[in-house]
Amino acid sequence: MLFSDFAEYLKRLEVTSSRLEITSILTDLFDRTSSDEIQKVTYLSLGVLAPNYEGILLNLAEKMMIRTIAIAYNLKTEDVIKLYKKEGDLGPVAEKLAQNTNNLKKLTVNDVYEKLKIIAKDGGGGSQDRKIELMADLLKQLDSLSVRFVARIPMGKLRLGFSEKTIIDALARHNTLKQKEIEESYNIRPDIGYVAFLVKENKLKEVKPKVGVPVVPMLAQRLNSTSEMIKKMGEVAVEPKFDGLRIFIHYKKSTSSRGGVDFIKIFTRNLNSLDENIFPELKGVGKYIKADEIILDTEAVGIDPKREMFLDFQKTISRRRKHEVEKTSGEVPLQFQVFDLLLVDGESLINVPYVNRRKKLEKVIINSGLLRVDESIVTKDPDLIKKLHLKYLEMGLEGVVVKRANGKYVSGRTGWNWVKMKEEEGKSGRLSDTLDCIVMGYWSGKGKRAQFGLGKILVGIKDGEKIRTLTKVGTGLTEEMLGTIKRRIDKLESRNKPKEYEAQKDLIPDVWATPSLIVEVTADSISKSTKHSLGLSLRFPRFLRIRNDKGPSEATTLKELNDLFSIQ
């Protein structure tokens, strides 16, 4: 497919707000796309070159793209800046300047993708200047409409108002598959380009976990009643719930006869790859694993070596923020509580009942100060669940996690496979659970907060593909946190309201932010609201913390909010 033809589809998607129409356009696009280009078409329609966990980024910021456009069309940077101030978007700026270009080439989608990938992978000394020159050369070869979209991609601003979920819907229509079938495959291999290729080739059933590729994690539902848990789940396994950092450990033993380095990859719950140097303890993890390759679902918990007790989440996560990690690892040693097993020696355990996965786990993990498989008690007795919950709370843990004994590993918060127990609403004057909200923007500070440039933040939650406003939050933000959030949002600033946001006119912040930053919020209660687009809001909301371990896909949903409202 010529990139100019692809750009026509992007143009149609850009001006369409109806999700059904967007899905229809994407379906038509996939119908016209061959197997050897569908991965690239899928990535580029989302404005990326690869799944986030691969870390293949163009990293050309706004100023660099202004220089790029100036070089491409023989202008001074001041001239481009002047046009940018007028348009507010470098895409249309580049499009207008490209209209008089005579050096056009009939580049295909694959051609453009490969050129962008070369630019992204260029590193080392002088790479910024080389990236700008290569990008300028690419723009000069493209027609004006193509330039509009290609100029936005390096800055991460293509955003056409849809996500992987809409692409999954379009792929289902394209190949008359069930949407759930594709979604389940995507959860196991969250690479939407690869999944699109498998759909095109009718090989979706071949999907299984792979060492080095994250799996979308299973998440717990919420219930307060232990009898309700047994009613919904039948026989269950009851385990302690730790207040730590959800970590997936991917390990593969070296096959070198000379004793090469073992492969270790670490992922967070939102599929981000972490530098293994953040957790130097794991460099010797192979000593405690009786398998050649494995994928483990764990909770990294900080240990206080003096008092021999677990540390809270904030102390544990501080390990990721410190520069002197080796020193910090001595101050905050970690223990990885291993509670599930997704793959061992090439065998997928995704569809194996939980109790069987657990037995396998106990066989392949050597309990130590680094890896620990904690107790798991199988029962149908609601009273025993309550006793264990109180026992773990007294130990300083977060109570229990209750798991369906015969449940498969089902990504996401679907069905009643895992349940976390929460105290009843009202006991602490707060909601029975906290909310993970997306920061949509902020208002400039007044009074004492004027010096920080930020007074309150606007937060929202997910409703399908949309993100709707939930509340303003100012209470609980310390001076240090005001500065931290301001710096984080400034990097995410959007000149216009992102396409997926819905906010009423009296809830327009001074600065919009693209959806990325997640904060944990609590409140006294949920109340009905005509002011917010969700129809619900929070009474006396309070900021608790930034959730660096979560991404927008893990934000609280409208369904979850309604569940909490009904419990209340």
Mean pLDDT in consecutive groups of 10 residues from the start of the chain, 568 residues:
96 91 95 96 95 88 93 94 90 91 86 96 89 95 95 88 91 85 93 95 92 93 89 96 91 80 90 84 92 96 67 57 51 87 96 96 94 95 95 90 95 87 52 85 79 88 90 89 88 86 88 92 87 85 88 86 77
Which among 198, 517, 235, 183 has a CA at the least distance from the CA of 378? 235
**pTM of the predicted structure, to 2 decimals:** 0.79
Closest alpha carbon to 417 in 433, 436, 438, 403:
403
Task: Give pLDDT, residue 310.
Answer: 67
CA–CA distance, 375 with 369 (Å, rounded to integer): 15
200 within 8 A of 220, measured Cβ to Cβ: no
pLDDT computed for residue 177 by the predictor: 78
Secondary-structure percent of the chain, ordered helix, strand, coil, rounded to 5:
40, 20, 35
SS3 235: coil
92: its two tokens: 């249309």
The pLDDT score that the predictor gives to residue 493 is 87
Active site positions, annotated: 241
Distance CA 495, CA 507 (A): 16
Question: Residue 329: what pLDDT?
Answer: 53
Q: Contact at 8 Å (CB) between 27 and 170?
A: yes
Please tell me the predicted confidence (pLDDT) of residue 323. Answer: 47
Q: What angle do CA 47, 2, 198 make, to 5 degrees?
A: 60
Per DSSP bridges, beta strands 466-473 and 377-379 are unpaired
CB 181 within 8 A of CB 38: no
Alpha carbons 150 and 261: distance in angstroms, whole number:
40
Helix ranges restricted to H, 224-280: 226-233
Could you identify the residue written with the tokens 């010797």?
A: 284
Q: Which residue segments constitute the domains of the chain, with CATH numbers given?
A: 3-155 (1.10.3260.10), 221-421 (3.30.470.30), 435-567 (2.40.50.140)
Q: What is the pLDDT of residue 45?
A: 96
Q: In what order do the strands lie in the sheet with 221-223?
A: 221-223, 418-421, 400-404, 236-240, 377-379
First to last CA, the chain: 54
Please give the pLDDT value at position 156: 85
3-class secondary structure for 164-213?
HHHHHHHHHHHHCCCHHHHHHHHHHCCCHHHHHHHHHCCCHHHCCCCCCC
